[in-house]
Structure 1
Amino acid sequence: MSTLLKNATIIDASSPYHQQKKDILISDGKIEKIEDSIQQKKNYTVVNVDNLHVSCGWFDTSVSLGEPGFEERETIKNGLQVAAKSGFTTIAVNSNTNPIIDSKSDVEFLINKAQNSAVKLYPIAALTINSEGVDMAELYDMQQSGAVAFGDYNKPIENDNLMKVALLYAQNFDGLVLSFPKNNKIAGEGIANEGINSTKLGLKGIPALAEHIQIARDIFLLEYTGGKLHIPTISSAKSVELIKDAKKKGLKVTCSVAAHHLVLTDNELHGFDSNFKTNPPLRTKDDIKVLQKGVKSGVIDIITSDHNPIDIEHKKVEFSEAKDGVIGLETVFGALNSVLDLEDFINCITTKPKEIFGIENYSIKEGNIADVTLFDPNSDVTFTKEHILSTSKNSPFINKKLKGNVYGIFANNQLILK
């Protein structure tokens, strides 16, 4: 099987063809030729679309799929199709399931369910048993079975000593520990960013301080223990400063930001639409400016969708009762393409996250495995419910203008187009 990508602008800083328009011939899952023009043959599958751009395959480090336990939200099979048609060749799946992914057999279940898919699935196993924050799970066994990191999804580790021990223990096998940035005692029963809007709307506030205190604690612990720490989905300006200072000290700390925190503010809450209820909450315009600068400067390592499907019974209810979470795979590119440089975006969704999570990144060169994303950065679209591929429809970008269009992927010797 051969696939020919015609007139593709290559966006890959590690490739000798970076920023060049080329034809790319893929045969048996590998890049056979990259030339100015390659003659079409009858047995070729040809992709010849408007303004085709090609980059290394995108990697989303925070995806929830529901299965096992919440299949009504999203199954693994459908979630992998959504990821592929949204441009992702690789996803890391959270232990946001029932049962929680906290054992060797749970990790193997996820991996086996994704066998033969175009999209590679890597489990992020729970750090603690049942994500209860009490007893550490069998991290080494889960890593041996294929887990790439360990963290309790959207749940902070409140026990300081437990986090200390986890950072120490994980060093024995070069494990990556995730710590969700939230102090529950400070956050209390808050459901929105503490500020002008939460006061106007009568919503209980979560101060950004809840995020800062947890990050500061984790940085102090990391300085004491050593090891590797990843802080997922930061949302405030001060958090960027804290992580920047920690990196200057030489600590092995990395962080991610969710796409919605780079473009949406708590002004969206005035309609009490629960699709804007997130964890961490949407913050302010000033926070967004600093977060975007953090991406451009390299302080923020990773951009993620933080894709978290929630069924209508738990989302289309009173704002205070609705579950946190939004779907985001379909909208990451379109939402950020107008506010970030294309190369900054690509770097934070390919090279850097793969390096942090220990996953190989295949540069676009002759002889390499073909693992690429196909897209057009220039088209405009108003995102509607009809564009949603996920089973759940809890998107904060419905009826918003997005820039760019994803055509699909070529990965694992499979071409998947929208």
Structure 2
Amino acid sequence: MNILIKSAKIFDKSNKDLHLKTKDILVQNGVITKISDAVTPTEDAVIVSKKNLCISIGWLDTSVSFGEPGFEERETIKNGLKTAVKGGFTDIILNTNTNPIPYTSATLAFIKDKAKEEVTNLHPLGALTVNSEAIDLAELYDMKNAGAVGFSDYKKPTSNSNLLKIALQYAQNFDGLIYSFPLDCKIAGKGIVNEGDVSTSLGLKGIPALAEELQVARDLFILEYTGGKLHIPTISTAGSVKLIREAKKKGLDVSCSVALYNLLYSDEKLTEFDTTYKVLPPLRTKEDITALIEGVKNGTIDFVTTDHNPLDIEQKKVEFDNAAYGTIGLESSFGILNTIFDTETTIEILTKGRERYGLQTPKIKEGNTACFTLFDNDTLHYINKQTSKSRAKNCMFFEEKLKGQVFGVLNKYVAEIL
């Protein structure tokens, strides 16, 4: 397929010659063959021309859950990846909350096979421990060879400090990335929301910031002792930002992410007991939001993720105490980020960090394989239950005003223009 993208404003800070310039881009059989002010289309070329068309390299989300295998009623891999396309993502990192949990190379092979020939690339995580039970390390080396880009027990903290120490030491033999979810379960107790004025007024048991920060501090001490590569997913407090900033100054090889919802909403959203806003980590305070946004801007926080987690209506339409944690957000991510940050910063957030997972960063350059996201950075719009591609509808961002809209993606030999 030959595709001619007409008059697209390019967002690519790594290329000063193209950044914020408007160009025509010709893609032939998946390869960028011409970038110029004006390109004459070939007879068989599909022309993509839209008002306020912008383009960048394809976007990455580092924390995505679907369901398959085991929970296909929530979301299948095939439909989940189509939802990712609608959100503008050419690459996603898939979490380990499936059944069976992927702690062997065989399960990873099944997942990767299901994602073949889809527009969006799926990069699976492998479980850190057998059945994510935090007792015995899983087959990390075999899973690395089978395509695992990191090792995570999704939303389950590694309470055994020695196990984390051994994992960090062992994974250095093959440059493995070890995850540690930041939650001290003993401190968190039976808490389900942020501990503070809101939880007290609502009569809900709280999770103090200490439960996160104590675990982060422990993990960083262990990393300093062992060396290795550590990723701390979805931090949510100002204290965690400070701890990780100090660790990076020391030269520790640590990265971290923040969930999209922790940049937008505070725990004040909980006053109606709407289970859509029940997430883990919980919505925190406005002061935490300010610190997290600043952490993204100054590079302390490496990734902003949707933490996309489809759930059945039965898991959400229950009493708040009994509801499951999680929201979807792939389709809303760009529009939300583009309201919090300027477009250049938003695109930088969405495109950076592939190297952390051993993935190659695409380039907008003649002769390179095409990997683009096409978007409009200005139009205001909304997503609701009717327009969402996801099977699950547990989305806290429905009816939120989104600034900017995705037109589609082009990845290798496959394009999907919405």
Q: Distance in 2 between matches of 1:415 and 1:195?
A: 48
Q: Distance in 1 between matches of 2:326 and 2:2?
A: 40
| Alignment partner of 1:90 is 2:112 | no
Q: Distance in 2 between matches of 1:248 and 1:164?
A: 21
Bigger mean CA deviation after superposition, 372-381 or 333-342: 333-342
Q: Distance in 2 between matches of 1:189 and 1:289?
A: 27
Task: Give the C-alpha shift of residue 384 in structure 1.
Answer: 1.9
Task: Give the C-alpha shift of residue 85 in structure 1.
Answer: 1.5
| Alignment partner of 1:150 is 2:135 | no
Q: Distance in 2 between matches of 1:160 and 1:100?
A: 22
Task: Give the C-alpha shift of residue 342 in structure 1.
Answer: 2.1
Bigger mean CA deviation after superposition, 158-167 or 359-368: 359-368
Q: Which residue of 2 aligns with 1:104?
A: 105
The percent of aligned pairs where both chains have the same amino acid is: 54
> How many aligned residue pairs are there?
417
Q: Distance in 1 between matches of 2:230 and 2:401?
A: 36
The amino acid across from 1:63 in the alignment is V
Task: Give the C-alpha shift of residue 157 in structure 1.
Answer: 0.3
C-alpha contact (below 8 Å) 2:195/2:206 kept by paired residues: yes
Q: Which deviations, in whole Å up to 9, do the C-alpha atoms of 1:130-170 show, x marking residues without a partner?
A: 00111100100000000000010001000000000000000
Q: Distance in 2 between matches of 1:103 and 1:11?
A: 39
Q: Distance in 2 between matches of 1:232 and 1:342?
A: 24
1:203-282 equivalences in 2 (<5 Å): 203-282=204-283
Q: Which residue of 1 aligns with 2:7?
A: 7
C-alpha contact (below 8 Å) 2:334/2:404 kept by paired residues: yes
Q: Which residue of 2 aligns with 1:63?
A: 64
Task: Give the C-alpha shift of residue 347 in structure 1.
Answer: 2.1
1:118-133 equivalences in 2 (<5 Å): 118-133=119-134
Q: Distance in 1 between matches of 2:249 and 2:41?
A: 52
Q: Which residue of 2 aligns with 1:342?
A: 343
Task: Give the C-alpha shift of residue 180 in structure 1.
Answer: 0.5
The amino acid across from 2:104 in the alignment is S
Task: Give the C-alpha shift of residue 55 in structure 1.
Answer: 0.6
Bigger mean CA deviation after superposition, 13-22 or 149-158: 13-22
Q: Which deviations, in whole Å up to 9, do the C-alpha atoms of 1:198-244 show, x marking residues without a partner?
A: 11111110001111000000000000000000111111111110000
Task: Give the C-alpha shift of residue 33 in structure 1.
Answer: 0.5
1:275-290 equivalences in 2 (<5 Å): 275-290=276-291
Q: Which residue of 2 aligns with 1:370?
A: 370
Q: Which residue of 1 aligns with 2:191?
A: 190
Give structure 1 regions of 4+ aligned residues with deviation exceeding 6 angstroms.
none
Q: Distance in 2 between matches of 1:124 and 1:145?
A: 10
| Alignment partner of 1:382 is 2:382 | yes
What secondary structure does 1:46 align onto? strand
Task: Give the C-alpha shift of residue 129 in structure 1.
Answer: 0.4
Q: Distance in 2 between matches of 1:141 and 1:347?
A: 33
C-alpha contact (below 8 Å) 1:295/1:344 kept by paired residues: no
Q: Which residue of 2 aligns with 1:323?
A: 324
Task: Give the C-alpha shift of residue 340 in structure 1.
Answer: 1.1
C-alpha contact (below 8 Å) 1:119/1:412 kept by paired residues: no
Task: Give the C-alpha shift of residue 383 in structure 1.
Answer: 2.9
Task: Give the C-alpha shift of residue 417 in structure 1.
Answer: 2.0
The amino acid across from 1:180 in the alignment is F
Q: Which deviations, in whole Å up to 9, do the C-alpha atoms of 1:359-412 show, x marking residues without a partner?
A: 101111111110011111101013322231110000001222111101110003
| Alignment partner of 1:18 is 2:19 | yes
The amino acid across from 1:363 in the alignment is K
Task: Give the C-alpha shift of residue 344 in structure 1.
Answer: 2.3
Q: Distance in 2 between matches of 1:50 and 1:85?
A: 18
| Alignment partner of 1:416 is 2:410 | no
Q: Distance in 1 between matches of 2:209 and 2:47?
A: 50
Q: Distance in 1 between matches of 2:398 and 2:86?
A: 18
Q: Which residue of 2 aligns with 1:359?
A: 359
Q: Which deviations, in whole Å up to 9, do the C-alpha atoms of 1:310-336 show, x marking residues without a partner?
A: 011111111111100000101111111
TM-score of the pair, normalised by structure 1: 0.98
The amino acid across from 1:377 in the alignment is N
Q: Distance in 1 between matches of 2:51 and 2:211?
A: 46
Q: Which deviations, in whole Å up to 9, do the C-alpha atoms of 1:234-258 show, x marking residues without a partner?
A: 1111111000000000000000111
Q: Which residue of 1 aligns with 2:77?
A: 76
Q: Distance in 2 between matches of 1:252 and 1:345?
A: 24
Unaligned 5+ segments in structure 1 are none
The amino acid across from 1:73 in the alignment is R
Task: Give the C-alpha shift of residue 42 in structure 1.
Answer: 3.1
Task: Give the C-alpha shift of residue 41 in structure 1.
Answer: 3.4
Task: Give the C-alpha shift of residue 110 in structure 1.
Answer: 0.8
The amino acid across from 1:4 in the alignment is L
Q: Which residue of 1 aligns with 2:406?
A: 406
The amino acid across from 1:373 in the alignment is T
Q: Distance in 2 between matches of 1:105 and 1:243?
A: 35
The amino acid across from 1:82 in the alignment is T
Task: Give the C-alpha shift of residue 116 in structure 1.
Answer: 1.0
C-alpha contact (below 8 Å) 2:31/2:412 kept by paired residues: no
| Alignment partner of 1:176 is 2:177 | yes
Q: Distance in 2 between matches of 1:123 and 1:59?
A: 13
